[in-house]
A and B are shown apart, each in its own frame.
Chain A
Amino acid sequence: MAKFIIRRVFLAIVTVWVIITVTFFLMKAIPGDPFRKEGKMPAVVYENLLAKYGLDKPVTEQYGIYLKNILRGDLGASMKSRVETVNDMVSRGAPVSFQIGIQAFIIAILFGPALGAIAALFQNRLPDYISMILAIIGISVPSFILATLLIQYVAKGSEFFPIGGWGTFAHSVLPAVALSVMPLAATARLMRSSMLEVLGQDYIKTAKSKGISQFAVIMGHAVRNAILPIVSQMGTTISNLLVGSFVVEKIFGVPGIGRFFVDSVINRDYTLIMGITIFYAVVLISMLLIVDILYILIDPRIKLTGEAA
Chain B
Amino acid sequence: MKKSTMKWLTLVLAMIMLLAACGGGGDDATEAATDAGQTEGDATATETDDNEADAPDDAADAPAGEGRYLRSNNPSEPGSLDPALAQGTHESWILQHSFEGLMTYDKDGNIVPGMAADEPVISDDGLTYTFTVRDDVKWSNGDPVTAHDFEFAWKRVADPDLAADYAYQVFYIEGMEELFTGEDVNGDGTVATVDDVGVKALDDHTLEVKLVNPTGFFTELTAFYTYFPVNKAVVEANPEWANNADTYVSNGPFTLESWEHNAKILLKKNPEYYDAAQITIEGIDLDVIDDDNTAYQKYDGGEYDMLVSIPPVVIGEMVDNQNPELVLGPQAGTYYYNLNAEVSPFNNPKVRRAFAMALDRETITQKISKGGEIPAEGIVPFGFMDENGEEYRNKMENSIAFDAAGAKALLEEGLAEEGVTVDVFNDMALLYNTSETHRLIAQAVQEMWRTNLGINIGLENVDFQVKLDREKAGDYQISRAGWIGDYADPMTMLDLWHSESSFNDANYNNPEYDALIDSIKASPDQAFRFEKMREAENMLNEDMPVVPVYFYTLPYLVKPNVEGVYKTLLNFPTVTYATITD
Contact = CB atoms under 8 A, between A and B. Distances in A.
Interface of A: 30-33, 35-46, 48-49, 51-52, 80-84, 89, 92-96, 98-99, 101-102, 148, 151-152, 155-156, 159, 162-172, 224, 242, 250-253, 255, 259, 266-268, 290, 294, 297-298, 300
A148 to B, nearest CB: 7
Contact of A31 (B6, B23, B466): B466
Contacts of B260: 255
A102 B163 contact: no
17 contacts: A31-B466, A39-B483, A39-B503, A40-B503, A45-B180, A51-B163, A81-B79, A82-B80, A82-B243, A84-B243, A95-B22, A163-B44, A165-B263, A167-B34, A242-B22, A266-B464, A294-B10
B51 interface: no
Nearest to B25: A95
A277 to B, nearest CB: 18
A98 B25 contact: yes
A298 B242 CA distance: 53
Contacts of B21: 98
Nearest to A268: B465
B465 A38 contact: no
B263 A36 contact: no
A250 B7 CA distance: 39
Nearest to B466: A31
Interface of B: 3-4, 6-7, 10-11, 14, 18-19, 21-26, 28-30, 33-34, 39-41, 43-45, 48, 77-82, 85, 87, 160-161, 163-165, 167-168, 171, 177, 180-181, 242-243, 260-264, 287-291, 293-295, 297-298, 300-301, 303, 463-466, 468-470, 472, 481-483, 496, 501-503
Q: Is the interface of B mostly helix, strand, loop or mixed?
A: helix
B463 A169 contact: no
Contact of A171 (B40, B81, B262): B40
B7 A298 contact: yes
Q: Is the interface of A mostly helix, strand, loop or mixed?
A: helix
Contact of A96 (B29, B45, B163): B29
Given A159-B48, A298-B11, A166 B503 contact: no
Given A39-B483, A41-B502, A92-B261, A167 B30 contact: yes
A102 B466 contact: no
A298 B7 CA distance: 6
Given A98-B22, A159-B44, A259-B262, A38 B468 contact: yes
A165 B289 contact: yes
B172 to A, nearest CB: 13
Contacts of B28: 95
Contacts of A43: 502
B338 to A, nearest CB: 11
Contacts, number: 200
Nearest to B9: A297
Please give me the 3 A-B residue pairs with the lowest Cβ-Cβ distance, nearest first.
Answer: A95-B25, A32-B465, A253-B289
Given A84-B261, A168-B41, A253 B22 contact: no
Contact of B40 (A40, A89, A165, A300): A165
B321 to A, nearest CB: 20
A102 B40 contact: no
Contacts of A38: 464, 468, 481-483
A37 B481 CA distance: 11
A44 B502 CA distance: 10
B248 to A, nearest CB: 11
Determine which residue in A31, A33, A80, A300 has the highest number of CB atoms from chain B within 10 A of its CB, and name it. A31
Nearest to B500: A42
Contact of B168 (A40, A82, A298): A40
B80 A31 contact: no
Contacts of B481: 38
A166 B25 CA distance: 13
Determine which residue in A46, A148, A168, A266 has the highest number of CB atoms from chain B within 10 A of its CB, and name it. A168
Nearest to A162: B44
B180 A37 contact: no
Contacts of B290: 250, 253, 259
A166 B23 contact: no
Given A32-B466, A44-B180, A82-B79, A163 B303 contact: yes
Contact of B26 (A36, A98, A267): A98
A148 B293 CA distance: 8
B502 A151 contact: no
Contacts of B48: 159
